[in-house]
Amino acid sequence: MPTTRIGLLLFPNLTQLDLTGPAEVFARMPGAELHLIWKTRDPVPSDRTLTILPTTTFADCPTLDLICVPGGPGQVALMEDDETLDFLRRIAETCTLVTSVCTGSLVLAAAGLLTGYRATSHWSSIDQLALLGAIPTHERVVRDRNRITGAGVTSGIDFALTVVAELAGPEAAQEIQLQLEYDPAPPYDSGTPDTAPPEILAAARAKSANFMARRRAATERAAARLPHA
């Protein structure tokens, strides 16, 4: 059975489910070899208590078949982190699939890897993709040539199952979905801006307004650095 080398980027203050959701799916794919990648092998803190240990570094990372960039608050700093952006450009050159979950797509776009591609992101930030030369697409999982992007957080599981179907076939993806008993039945129909009650959406926007201003400022600075800007 051929080996499929899958790399997931780690970085401080990422949203851990953006990474661990896809990682749980990918790890069950036949022939998968997972790599959790950061600048060092030191523990990396997420934005919600959990700390994750890298398995390799930028310098030691082998050639990959797939690179995946998760999102989270720490994504803002990555938009101007030349070491990370250079690594993504380098590793993407030989990847069969270049992918992201949530606001990880903004990092890919800041590296120039989504210019002219349809892509998605978290609902709160998807419009910012246009500033970076990508084409915002309001779907849970978006495929454009060899780019596959997932929307916010929990969509990483849907995204990963889509990728497994691409790499190992739909039967493998369905078996993994069954193993995980992935059969969502949320208690409320408030998972998107279109379905959430207006007062809930307004409260969520107000709560994140200051952070969203910082994210947009970082996106605008990253856009100014791109060749097309």
Domains parsed from the chain with CATH numbers? 4-225 (3.40.50.880)
Is-catalytic flag, 102?
A: yes
Asked whether residue 229 carries a pLDDT value surpassing 60, the answer given is no
Residues 6+ apart with CB under 8 A from 22: 8, 68, 70, 101, 150, 156, 157, 159, 160, 163
Helices (H) and strands (E) in the chain, counts: 7, 11
pTM of the complete model: 0.97
Distance CA 140, CA 78 (A): 23
In a 13 Å sphere around the CA of 135, the CA atoms on its Cβ side amount to 8
Q: Phi-psi region for residue 218, left (φ > 0), alpha (ψ -120 to 50) or beta?
A: alpha
pLDDT digits (tens, 9 = 90+) for 47-67: 999 999 999 999 999 999 999
Residue 96 one-letter amino acid: T
**Active site residue: 61, 68, 95, 102, which one?**
102
* Strand (E) or helix (H) holding 18: helix 16-27
Label the pairing between strands 32-38 and 56-57. Answer: parallel
- Mean pLDDT, the chain, rounded, equals 97
Nearest to 102 by CA among 134, 131, 137, 72: 72
pLDDT at 227: 86
Give mean pLDDT, residues 25-44. 98
pLDDT band at 228 (very low <50, low <70, confident <90, very high): low
Two tokens, residue 17:
């489910």
3-state DSSP helix/strand/coil % of the chain, to nearest 5: 40, 20, 40
